[in-house]
Amino acid sequence: MIGTLVNVGAIVLGSLLGGTFRKVMSEKLSAALMNAMGLAAFGLGLNAVVQNMPKSKYPVLFIVSLALGCLAGTLLDLDRRVTALTSRRDKSGNLGQGIITGCLIFCVGTLSILGPVQSALYGDHTYLFTNASLDLVTSMVLGATYGVGMALAAVVLLLWQGSIYLLTLLLGGFISEVMMTEISIVGGFLIAMSGLSIMKLKNFQTLNYLPALLVPILWCAFFG
């Protein structure tokens, strides 16, 4: 778990540094940085989809995942609940969107998924240390955009990578290459959605789609 703890520490540190920088930024600079983050998130999501779609073993699974995830999330009203919770700390109401975007960027990626697997099976933390370096920079930018509250995303990362680590210890090769591909496709769409929401081009209420990430996991676990 040392690799995951280093990754978590990098996000907390980056969020604190970025949040400190945010205090001296003008409103104009803050708005420009937010648009830049939205565009970057959209590009990252699109790249994940384009890279993994040709490797998909189940070409329509992402459609089913998004549909079922949206239905589940909407029924649970996840977006409103989380937005209301984070708005208590951030009167602008933007922190919730920032945390959602950060969690997706930090958690849905090859390094973040394969890292705990390599760590559990071989004691190799190279992927996680590399991921920590990338997340340090990303969290600094997110912290400068949304504030030090972005450090909350580190808790989600800890739970995500910790769960993968424990599942790998218990079940061995539970996370297959097929599963990782399908998760990456759905995650790519969610990151792209989040980017569009940040730029205020379309309000997708991304958190309501988050349960979609569970569908590829369950599908590959039972039928993979």
- Sorted by where each begins, the domain ranges of the chain are 2-223
The predicted pLDDT at position 86 comes to 59
Provide the total of helices (H) and of strands (E) in the chain, helices listed first.
10, 0
C-alpha torsion sign, points 161, 163, 164, 166: positive
Q: In this structure, how many other beta carbons lie within 10 angstroms of the beta carbon of residue 171?
A: 10
Is the whole model's pTM more than 0.95, yes or no?
Answer: no
Output the CA–CA distances (angstroms, integers) from residue 212 to 9, 71, 72, 98, in the order listed: 28, 9, 8, 19
Report the pLDDT averaged over residues 197-207: 80
Is the separation of the CB atoms in 187 and 194 below 8 Å?
Answer: no
Three-state DSSP class for 125?
Answer: coil
pLDDT tens digits, one per residue of 80-129: 776 666 555 555 557 777 888 888 888 877 678 878 888 887 888 888 89
Mean pLDDT of 186-209: 83
pLDDT at 78: 76
pLDDT at residue 12, as a whole number: 93
67 has a pLDDT exceeding 90: yes
